[in-house]
Amino acid sequence: MVKNYIFDVDGTLTDSRQRMDKKFAVWFSKFCERNNVYLVTGSDRSKTIEQIGEVIYHKCKRVYQCSGSDVWKGDRNIRTSSWRLPELARYFLDSCEYESKFPVRTGNHIEERSGMVNFSVVGRNASLTERALYVTWDKAQRERARIVKSFNLMFPELLATSGGETGLDIAPKGNNKSQILVDFADTDELHFFGDAIFPGGNDAPLADAIAEQSKGKSYKVENWNDTFRILTEQVDTV
């Protein structure tokens, strides 16, 4: 029986901002041929294709970029949002970057995407080593969690969530990953995989909505190896 699967990308199908493991990619490509596979990620289209490759990208039924604000079916754009970050919110994020005690800055701290922005204190230009340093530092200092809390209190019409390993995803309230369920109104057997299914994580709104609407099951994973294991041991029986 054909099943419906929705996957986050960073931390779920790949290591953060890295290419898909070759062995997993070969297996997953075949998996896409016998199931309905959808992707939902905070990243834009070019970054997603760089990570998973053109072949898998085009085998997916739809890819929900920018947390669902930019939707693609292969090379065809289905819909996209024109929302832009308000200047006061931009000033707040600039202040957070300036006041952070983390010593490294690499540039590209506020990245504009369709219908959302990604904010990072260390910057999107960080190397793997610099990203790892921030991840360790943030786990101890919980800086992202504090910024999320302050931002959401100051801008109640917007919503900030922790996205990936070093950033925050910010969009109008309601324009989180749960917005993709508008395309699954007649589906009640969804299997959603995400690494950020926790309070304040950018996969949580979709997982919560799936549970509230009785549309299927969500799987909290630690990394792509965890996803691979669950698919082969518990879910995919082909």
pLDDT at 114: 87
Q: What does DSSP assign to residue 233?
A: I
Residues 66 and 179 in one domain: yes
Domain final position from 131, 155, 172: 172
Residues 128 and 142 occupy one common structural domain: yes
The CATH number for 213's domain is 3.40.50.1000
Question: Would the pTM count as exceeding 0.85?
Answer: no
Give CA separation, 195 vs 13, 83, 112, 217, 228, in Å. 10, 26, 23, 14, 13
Q: SS3 for 119?
A: strand
**Order of all β-strands in the sheet with 167-172:** 110-113, 116-120, 167-172, 158-163
Tell how strand 190-194 and strand 216-220 pair up: parallel
Q: Are residues 165 and 116 in the same domain?
A: yes
Considering its fold, how many domains does the chain have in total? 2
Enclosing domain of residue 33:
4-80+175-235
* Helix/strand/coil (H/E/C) assignment for every residue in 122-138: CCCCCCHHHHHHHHHHH
Statement to judge: residues 98 and 71 lie in one domain? no
Q: Would you state the pLDDT for residue 238?
A: 42
State the pLDDT at residue 137. Answer: 95
Do residue 17 and residue 65 come from a single domain? yes
Q: Which residue stretches of the chain have pLDDT < 50?
A: 237-238
What CATH number does residue 125 fall under?
Answer: 3.30.1240.20
| Residue that the structure tokens 């024109």 belong to | 82
Same domain? For 145 and 203 the reply is no
Q: Based on the domain organization, do 158 and 197 belong to the same domain?
A: no
Q: What is the pLDDT of residue 164?
A: 76
Neighbours of 234 (CB within 10 A): 10
